Structure 1
Amino acid sequence: MKTPNIFMFAIVFAIATFSQAQEIKPKEVKKEMKRVAEWQIAHFRDTYSDRKDPHHIADWTNGALYVGMVKYAEIANSNKYWRWLKKIGKEQNWKLHSRRYHADDHIIGQMYIELYRKYGDEKMIAETRKSFDYIIAHPSKQPITLDNYKHLERWTWCDALFMSPPVWAKLSNVTGDEKYSAFMMKEYEATITHLFDEDEDLFYRDNSYIGKLDDGKKIFWSRGNGWVFGGLTLLMEEYEPGSKEYEYFKAIYLRMAEKLIKIQTPEGHWAMSLLGQDKYPTPETSGTAFFTFGLAWGINHGLLDAETYQPHVEKAWNALVSYITKDGMLGYVQPIGAAPGNAWPDKTEVYGTGAFLSAGSEVYKLYGGE
């Protein structure tokens, strides 16, 4: 009587194993990236996260989309995506968003600098440089603690490490002026000291989570750590290997990478609360995509051993692709938030698309794409 049950278990196990072990081909990676990019462009001005109005074009949500769209534009066989990004820059008059010190309002500067690198038009970065010159001359005196969202002028929440620091590093790189990098390093180190858990090699979202437990486990938000991990790759890209800055970011990156492969779920994604897989079994694609991006980048740049890390990238990428709808929408993107929560197969967000395109750009290269 027990044989059929064992037989059925074997079939299910074999199917699950096969789905996780599907061979990744660069042509297919690019195909999925195009589907998701095209869907997002067509639905760019939709509303997300149950909000009444579309995100402002310079909002952090769209800024994260632009980071991924730039990376897709670099490998797409069309200038269509560069033109789309350039149109947005012109519409925004090449200005950052409205809050001078707020990290979220800096992120669009990443796109401006990449467009400057492609087109060489100084006006694309003039406003960003002007804004950052002011900040350097008038640094915020707020503390490094968030304190119930009272203090937002410095990088008091871990998401900020994706939003603002890469802009400062890129600006130093394209202008040759080290003052932007120097300012960024000082502020980054303050955030690391405040939010990095030395025992778990992960980041608290902000100081309100330090010391808190959920079912006896520390709370490390997946997307929050994804912001940091993805941001580390963006930063390392701006520095020469062996430089003081590169080695600083590399040390944090390697600690996180080693931790991440230990806590990846059997299904391939990462739980919304990284140490709480049992309580948060629902897939979540924005954090997972950022981790996939970062891990694949590390293999491609010789920081991570392919034999150890590539199976984790493969499992994660196959999981991500399985959550794309037939229309090309990336599902299971957790709405705007600051902690583990819910995600649904039929809901997305622009930053999830950006994370997916960033991941795809590195997975494409990892599997032989030019």
Structure 2
Amino acid sequence: MYKKWLALMLLLPFRFLFAQDHTLSEFPKGYTPQEVGKLIAYRFEEAKHALHAGKWISYPETFYWNGALKFAALTEDKAFVKILQNKFEPLFTTEKALLPIKNHVDLNMFGSLPLTLYQITGEKRYYDLGMPYADTQWEVPADAKPEEKEWAKKGYTWQTRLWIDDMYMITIVQTQAYKVTGDLKYIDRAAKEMVLYLDELQRPNGLFYHAPDVPFYWLRGNGWMAAGVTELLRYLPENHKDRPRIMKGYHTMMKSLKKYQTASGMWNQLIDEPDSWAETSGSAMFAYAFITGVKQGWLDAKEYAPAARKAWMALVSYVNEKGAVSEVCVGTNKKNDKQYYYDRPRRTGDYHGQAPYLWCVNALLEK
């Protein structure tokens, strides 16, 4: 008996060593990424366009579309991929006027969508449509403003404006261009820009002002950064000269986000204000950064996997039976007025919220 007990004790450490952590892989019914993802992604099939300035496909719609496509690809749902392709088809013909022009950070990001379609389908027409959005972000137009030309002289995009939102808008199209071309200039651009924004906007507590002249820790603004730096680190070569600086900024932010996560698992519209309301889009962006960080080995799993799971479980409770996410802050320009952020309207089904939920879904599904 003693020998059997001793053998068992000697074996236990190895069993624990190789035991699989199910914190981010096993969820109760109704909370699995497959169920939630299908509910939200399939809602996009019948969704109407959400236009920027009433003219062009907007960034919230672009990212919702992107998230749905990646979900379809990850789940090998070829029928749904085809549905999403068919939805895009009019942009080559009858809806061509809805293609965003290439003169603003919130418009050039559209290129990430056709580049995603190219990666999934291999059809070169998507490549040809998407790449000019990445290229023109660094091609200074003749009518550029003096400050835009100054940014370009320093090697940054002329679309630089130091709004924290930019760090997803710029990063997403440049990283996608790098993925489809293998050309380091695209990832170099994104990295250089990221270092600038980290240096200019990240505060000692790890969080970010909305802009240099707007000293408030707006949730979704910080969410754009959290998602953007996460996306960049996924593809930035390990030996890239800017990786240590960017990883430091990421770790500093993640540590702060863990501190400010509320007991419910969410984060507030103004992150450091306990009396502010829990907002879903930014909370989902933070959850995405946690999930990816744990899976990539950038974050300690024992510390961050439970926080990521807690966030996901809380987030799912805001999704209704039709796949619409509630408590989403509407589109928000910067304003040096704290009450402005408290008073922003909240919507259900706003694309600002639908997309980040799919980022979480896809991160949970990825191996």
Task: Work out whether the TM-score is over 0.5.
Answer: yes
Looking at structure 1, the residues matched to 292 and 364 of structure 2 have their Cα atoms a distance apart, in angstroms, of 8
2:108–2:134 Cα contact (<8 Å) kept: no
Report the CA distance between 1:57 and its aligned residue.
6.1
Shift, 1:240, TM fit: 2.7
Q: What is the rounded CA distance, in whole Å, between the counterparts of 1:329 and 1:156 in structure 2?
A: 31
In the other structure, the counterpart of 2:224 is: 227
Question: How far is the alpha carbon of 1:115 from its aligned partner?
Answer: 1.5
Task: Report the alpha carbon displacement of residue 196 of structure 1 after superposing the two structures with TM.
Answer: 1.9
Q: 2:247 aligns with which of 222, 227, 250?
A: 250
- C-alpha displacement of 1:337: 1.3
Please give the residue correspondences for 1:34-113 in structure 2 after superposition, counting only pairs within 5 Å: 34-42=38-46, 44-45=47-48, 58-93=57-92, 97-113=99-115
Aligned mates of 1:134, 1:358 — CA distance in 2: 26
Match of 1:288 in 2: 283
- Give, in angstroms, the shift of residue 231 of structure 1: 1.2
Q: Matches of 1:283 and 1:293 in 2, distance apart? A: 17
Query: What amino acid sits opposite 1:170 in the alignment?
Result: Q
Aligned residue in 1 for 2:12: none
Question: What is the identity, as a one-letter code, of the residue corresponding to 1:60?
Answer: Y
The question of whether the paired residues in 1 share the 8 Å contact of 2:278 and 2:327 is answered with yes
Q: Does 1:334 align with 2:321?
A: no
TM-aligned CA deviation for residue 316 of structure 1? 0.8
CA contact (8 A) 1:96 1:108 kept: no
The residue type equivalent to 1:92 in the other structure is: L
Aligned residues: 325
Letter in 2 for 1:310: A
For 2:73 and 2:333, the matched residues in 1 are separated by 31
Distance 1:55 1:357 in 2: 25
**Alpha-carbon distance, 1:169 to partner:** 2.4
Counterpart of 1:363 in structure 2 is 364
Point out the more displaced range, 252-261 or 123-132: 123-132
Say whether the 8 Å CA contact 1:323–1:345 is kept in structure 2.
Answer: no
Code of the residue aligned with 1:114 in structure 2: it is T
Is this contact kept in 2: 1:334–1:344, CA < 8 A?
Answer: yes
Query: Aligned runs of 1:112-261 on 2, under 5 Å?
Result: 112-138=114-140, 141-142=146-147, 153-197=159-203, 199-210=204-215, 219-261=216-258
Q: CA deviation at 1:245?
A: 4.2
TM-score (structure 2 length as normaliser): 0.78
Amino acid at match of 1:177: D
Q: Distance in 2 between matches of 1:96 and 1:238?
A: 30
1:301-320 matched pairs, under 5 angstroms: 301-320=296-315
Deviation of 1:292 after TM superposition, in Å, equals 0.5
CA contact (8 A) 2:229 2:246 kept: yes
Instruction: Tell me the alpha carbon deviations over residues 285-312 of structure 1, each in whole angstroms, 9 at most, x when there is no partner.
Output: 1000100111000001111111101111
Is the CA contact 1:223–1:272 (under 8 Å) kept in the aligned structure 2?
Answer: yes
Alpha-carbon distance between aligned partners in 2 of 1:321 and 1:25, rounded to the nearest angstrom: 11
Q: 2-side partners of 1:249 and 1:66: how far apart?
A: 28
- Give the TM-score normalised by the residue count of structure 1: 0.77
**Aligned partner of residue 205 in structure 1, secondary structure:** coil
Q: State the shift of 1:271 in Å.
A: 0.5
The whole-number CA distance in structure 2 between the counterparts of 1:130 and 1:96 is: 16
2:274 to 274, 277, 296: 277
Structure 1 residues 100 and 108: CA distance shift in structure 2, 3 A: closer
In structure 2, what is the Cα distance between the partners aligned to 1:41 and 1:341? 33
- RMSD of equivalent CA atoms: 3.2
Shift of 1:56: 5.7
Identity among equivalent pairs (%): 24
Q: 1:183 to 1:307 in 2, by over 3 A?
A: closer
Deviation at 1:134, TM superposition (A): 4.2
> Structure 1 stretches of 5 or more lacking a match?
1-22, 146-150, 211-218
Taking CA–CA contacts closer than 8 Å with sequence separation of 6 or more, which of the two structures ends up with the larger relative contact order?
1
Aligned residues of 2:164 and 2:221 also touching (Cα < 8 A): yes
Question: Contact conserved, 1:96 with 1:128, CA < 8 A, in 2?
Answer: no
Q: 1:135 to 1:31 in 2, by over 3 A?
A: closer
Asked whether the 8 Å contact 2:66–2:116 carries over to 1, the reply is: no
* SS of 1:275 mapped into structure 2: coil
Larger gyration radius, structure 1 or structure 2: 2
1:265 to 262, 265, 270: 262
Q: What amino acid sits opposite 1:171 in the alignment? A: A
For 1:110-149, what per-residue CA distance to the aligned partner results, in whole angstroms no more than 9, with x for missing partners? 122122122222221224333444443427542599xxxx
Per the TM alignment, residue 344 of structure 1 is displaced from its structure 2 partner at its CA by: 7.6
**CA positional deviation for 1:351:** 2.3
Aligned residue number for residue 19 of structure 1: none
Establish whether residue 29 from structure 1 lines up as the match of residue 26 from structure 2: no
Alpha-carbon shift at residue 253 of structure 1 (Å): 1.3
Q: CA deviation at 1:96?
A: 9.2
Taking a change above 3 Å as real, the CA distance of residues 346 and 156 of structure 1, as seen in their structure-2 partners, is closer
* SS of equivalent residue, structure 2 residue 293: helix
Does the C-alpha gap of structure 1 residues 100 and 311 become closer, same or farther in structure 2, counting only changes over 3 Å? same
CA distance in 1, matches of 2:183, 2:98: 20
CA contact (8 A) 1:169 1:235 kept: yes
